[in-house]
Every structure is written in C-alpha cells, then in structure tokens.
Amino acid sequence: MSDLQKKKEEAIPGLIAEPIPLFHKEFPIIFFWNPKCGCTTLVKWFYFQIGILDQANKYSEWIHTYRENVYELQPNHKLNLRNELMNLKKDTFKVIRNPYKRAVSSYIAALAMPEIMRQIAPDVKEGFSFRQFLYRLEEIGVEREIVNSHVAQQYVKGEELFVQNYIKLEDLNSKLRNIESKYKLLQSPLDVLTQSHHHIAQKMNTTAKESFADVNLHSYIRNSTLPPYQNFYDGETKKLVFEIYEQDFIMLGFDPDQLL
C-alpha cells in the first residue's frame, strides 16, 4: 500500500462519520457537507436527483429524519461509501460557508437544541450570549469528534485527499444548476427546495443597529426576528471566531479579514 493510500485509509473514518457524505452508487457525485451550510437544500436536491424526494417527504416533513432513520441505515451504506472513497472514480464536492456567518447560525441552532446546550453549557438555564457561546467553544474545542456537528468546524482532517471541488454557500444555487447541466441531471425546482422554516437569514432585520454580542438570547429566538450577522461582532468576538475555527479559515481558504 502506498503512502497516499495509507493516508486515505486513516482519513476515511473521520470523513464518513456524521454528517455522512451524500452518496449513491448510481450517482456521479459524492457531496461532503456540514450542518449550517445549506445542508437541508443540498439533501433535498440530492434526493430529488436520485428519485426519492417524495418518499422522504412522506416519511417526515423534516428531511433529515429520513436521512438519519432510513437512507443512511441502508445495508452496507457506509461500507460502500468507504470502498468508493478508497478507489475514487466519482467527482467530489463540498459545500462550505464563511465561518463568521456560520458561527452565528450555529449559535442560534445551539439555543434551540437542548442536546447541544447540554454538551457545551449544561449549567446555563436562562439565556446565553454569543460571546459566552464562543468562550465555551474555545474551552471545549470544535473538532467533529468532540462537539455536535452543528457547531463543529467544517474542515475534517484529510479531506483534501478526497474533495476536488468546493462550493461556497452563497453560490450553491448557481453551482447546482451548473452541475445539473454538466452531468446531464434533472433540472430541479430549486425555488421549492430552498424553502425552509429554519433558515435564519430570512428572519433577520437588516436595519437593526444594536450590538448583540452580549445579549442573552433564549431558545425561542429562532421563531423571532433576528439582528443581522454583523451585529454579533466586535473586535473580540471576531478574534474568537477566527481562533476557534482557524482550520476552516486556513484549509478552506476563507479570508479572516472579510467578516461577512
């Protein structure tokens, strides 16, 4: 076995851990992804392309329930994915997101998900600020094997051996259209697939001016009007996000000086 193959073999367990890449033996692409990076749209698009979106929607209105309980539990699914990665003949893509935006989105998600709060802030009962959230992550770490994937870093060690193409979230729709054309796939109803009740950008009041770095928000904030991403940032919170998610900036090519 060559040194490259050994490196690939060592990297694969981390790459096929949750969140498991989107893979189908008859589909020409493997999609790597992370929560809070357009994953709901991507999963819906993938299921549309392989002909199971209606089935998934009938199973649950939340697409990830079908993904976790049905699709990823197919016999030998992870084994087949592993074998494909070791002998890679498909093209590979990964959707990535500006870490500053994703950190705010991860914070809002954490407030609404008790399992994350129990993991990173079990002592917090009444409200939790963005700055406090970042302090906790700084203390715990953000490697995928340590924390919930909604707040973990996007980069996975060794992914550069497999991922050939990166798509920034803001370019996702146009890139999916390009992929449909290049690979002669079905033209998907992206205007429908991109609709989701939990996209926080749709709930942001872009005219708000108040700083929110130290405002204690609660779980119900997800159902309320939110301030824009930049209102969560000052010099310290920006520095914290860069330090916490440094691997995302370095390995995925994001400019630490470009806030949003």
**What percent of the chain shows pLDDT beyond 70?**
94
- Of 65-79, 94-108, 217-231, the poorest mean pLDDT is in 217-231
Choose between 84 and 125: higher pLDDT.
84
Please, which pLDDT band fits residue 209 given cuts at 50, 70 and 90? Answer: confident
Measured distance CA(227)–CA(200) in Å, rounded: 10
Residue 14 Cα distances to 44, 144, 201, 245, angstroms: 24, 8, 30, 18
Q: Do 229 and 100 touch, CB atoms closer than 8 A? A: yes
* Predicted confidence (pLDDT) at residue 219 exceeds the cutoff of 90: no
Count of CB atoms situated within 10 Å of the CB of 215: 16
> Strand 91-96 to strand 165-168: parallel, antiparallel, or no bridges (unpaired)?
parallel
Please compute the mean of the pLDDT values over residues 80-93 and round it to a whole number. 97
* Predicted confidence (pLDDT) at residue 199 exceeds the cutoff of 90: no
Please compute the mean of the pLDDT values over residues 34-56 and round it to a whole number. 98
| Domains of the chain, earliest start first | 3-252 (3.40.50)
Interval 104-136: pLDDT, tens = 999 999 999 999 999 999 998 888 999 999 999
* Predicted confidence (pLDDT) at residue 4 exceeds the cutoff of 60: yes
